[in-house]
């Protein structure tokens, strides 16, 4: 039986943009309550799909970071009244434009910071200790006993790690790295009271005093390309950078150059400047770990998230207040 027939065609339609990670869980649990439109599975272009099928769509679901909700997209959705983003950051949304069109926004407040911090530490260990590179070495059939040496890693314990952005995520990264006897320092807009770590008011000075940087801040005009060539050179040739914030916080072109010239020691990236594009030069490097923007997503969290999405959608379709509206919007 078709899902839309099960309830006498009364399922509310929800447009799903950009194939959010949570979608498989959401679909398997809630396709009896909503009819999901999936342009990412269509052979049509997005705008063609929207013009053909989404004229009456009132609500859409969009992941963070990857796909931008542009005016061109919004113009194809004349009935849109609600955007539900599955992210905490909203830099992919044009807030003034959505406000002008009187479109409400539901977002996800802190649900992810533990998962993000866990992955940040995982990427840091992976880059330093060449975990993914070692796995690739073995899966390629290479063996030390055949005279091949796997890539030699760097030590984590005791290293000086700088946290860029000591918010919910950054604080959890710091707490985790204390267990590795790392010496933690941080950069943020203002010095935090009651925090035992050394504060550096600028990121260049932080980099000069660290063996690794973990980027946990949001993307703003101030943080865009904050990690530039000078900062990377200050970090040095054994220094590593982990990015679980937003891609454009790093000057990606400069980063690729520094990696190729051996001016930094390695990077672990869950985000990229022009997602889904990834600079091709990175694919050949063993001191690079690439992660498909999954810092926030685990099975456990996707179950919680999918409930939160559905609660917001049901509130909207019942004319009740959103469960997690974006504040000050």
User: What is the side-by-side strand order in the sheet with 82-85?
Assistant: 34-37, 12-16, 59-62, 82-85, 104-106
User: How far apart, in whole angstroms, are the C-alpha atoms of residue 80 and residue 98?
Assistant: 10
> What minimum distance in Å lies between the beta carbon of 147 and a copy of itself?
5
47 binds a copy of itself (CB under 8 A): no
Token pair listed for 175: 């707490």
92 binds a copy of itself (CB under 8 A): no
With contacts defined by CB under 8 A, name the span among 15-23, 99-107, 190-198, 254-262 that binds a copy of itself. 15-23
Q: Which one, 132 or 208, has the nearer CB to a copy of itself?
A: 132
Which CA distances in Å does 71 have to 23, 44, 97?
24, 19, 8
Binding mask 256-295 for a copy of itself (x = CB under 8 A): -------------------xx-x----x-----xxxxxx-
**What is the DSSP secondary structure assignment for residue 250, as one 8-state letter?**
B
> What minimum distance in Å lies between the beta carbon of 152 and a copy of itself?
5
User: How far apart, in whole angstroms, are the C-alpha atoms of residue 152 and residue 133?
Assistant: 10
Q: Which of 5, 8, 41, 221: binder of a copy of itself (CB under 8 A)?
A: 41
Q: Is 280 a catalytic residue?
A: no
Residue 59 preceded by cis peptide, ω within 30: no
Token pair listed for 78: 């004349």
Q: CB–CB of 80/104 below 8 Å?
A: no
User: How far apart, in whole angstroms, are the C-alpha atoms of residue 186 and residue 184?
Assistant: 7
Tokens 């992210």 found at: 87
111 binds a copy of itself (CB under 8 A): no
115 binds a copy of itself (CB under 8 A): yes
Element (H, E) at 160: strand 160-164
185 φ/ψ angles, rounded to the nearest 5 degrees: -135, 170
Applying the rule CB under 8 A, the residues between 55 and 84 that interact with a copy of itself are 66-67
Q: Is 273 a catalytic residue?
A: no
Applying the rule CB under 8 A, the residues between 165 and 194 that interact with a copy of itself are 175-181
Q: Is 263 a catalytic residue?
A: no
With contacts defined by CB under 8 A, name the span among 136-144, 196-204, 217-225, 321-329 that binds a copy of itself. 136-144
Q: Where on the chain is the footprint of a copy of itself (CB under 8 A)?
A: 18-19, 21, 23-24, 40-41, 66-67, 114-115, 117-119, 121-123, 125-126, 128-132, 134-139, 143-145, 147, 149-150, 152-158, 175-181, 275-276, 278, 283, 289-294, 297-302
Q: State the catalytic residues.
A: 246, 275, 293
């Amino acid at each position: 039986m078709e899902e839309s027939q099960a309830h006498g065609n009364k399922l509310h339609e929800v447009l799903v943009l950009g194939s959010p990670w949570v979608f498989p869980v959401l679909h398997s649990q809630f396709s009896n309550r909503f009819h999901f439109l999936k342009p990412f599975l269509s052979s049509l272009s997005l705008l063609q799909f929207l013009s053909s099928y989404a004229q009456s769509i009132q609500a859409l679901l969009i992941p963070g970071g990857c796909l931008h909700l542009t005016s061109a997209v919004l113009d194809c959705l004349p009935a849109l009244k609600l955007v539900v983003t599955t992210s905490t950051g909203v830099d992919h949304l044009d807030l003034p434009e959505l406000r002008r069109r009187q479109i409400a926004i539901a977002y996800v407040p802190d649900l992810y910071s533990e998962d993000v911090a866990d992955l940040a530490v995982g990427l840091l260990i992976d880059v330093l200790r060449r975990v993914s590179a070692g796995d690739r070495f073995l899966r390629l059939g290479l063996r030390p006993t055949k005279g091949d040496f796997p890539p030699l890693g760097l030590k984590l314990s005791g290293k000086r790690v700088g946290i860029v952005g000591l918010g919910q995520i950054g604080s959890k990264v710091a707490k985790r790295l204390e267990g590795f006897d790392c010496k933690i320092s941080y950069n943020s807009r203002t010095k935090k009271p009651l925090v035992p770590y050394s504060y550096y008011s600028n990121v260049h000075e932080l980099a000069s005093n660290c063996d690794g940087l973990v980027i946990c801040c949001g993307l703003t005009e101030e943080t865009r390309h904050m990690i530039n060539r000078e900062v990377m050179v200050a970090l040095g040739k054994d220094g590593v950078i982990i990015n679980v914030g937003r891609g454009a916080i790093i000057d990606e072109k400069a980063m690729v150059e520094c990696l190729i010239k051996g001016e930094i020691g390695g990077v672990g990236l869950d985000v990229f400047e022009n997602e889904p594009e990834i600079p091709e030069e990175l694919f050949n490097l063993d001191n690079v770990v690439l992660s498909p923007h999954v810092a926030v997503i685990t099975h456990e969290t996707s179950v919680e998230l999918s409930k939160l999405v559905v609660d917001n959608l049901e509130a909207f379709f019942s004319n009740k207040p959103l469960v997690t509206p974006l504040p000050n919007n």
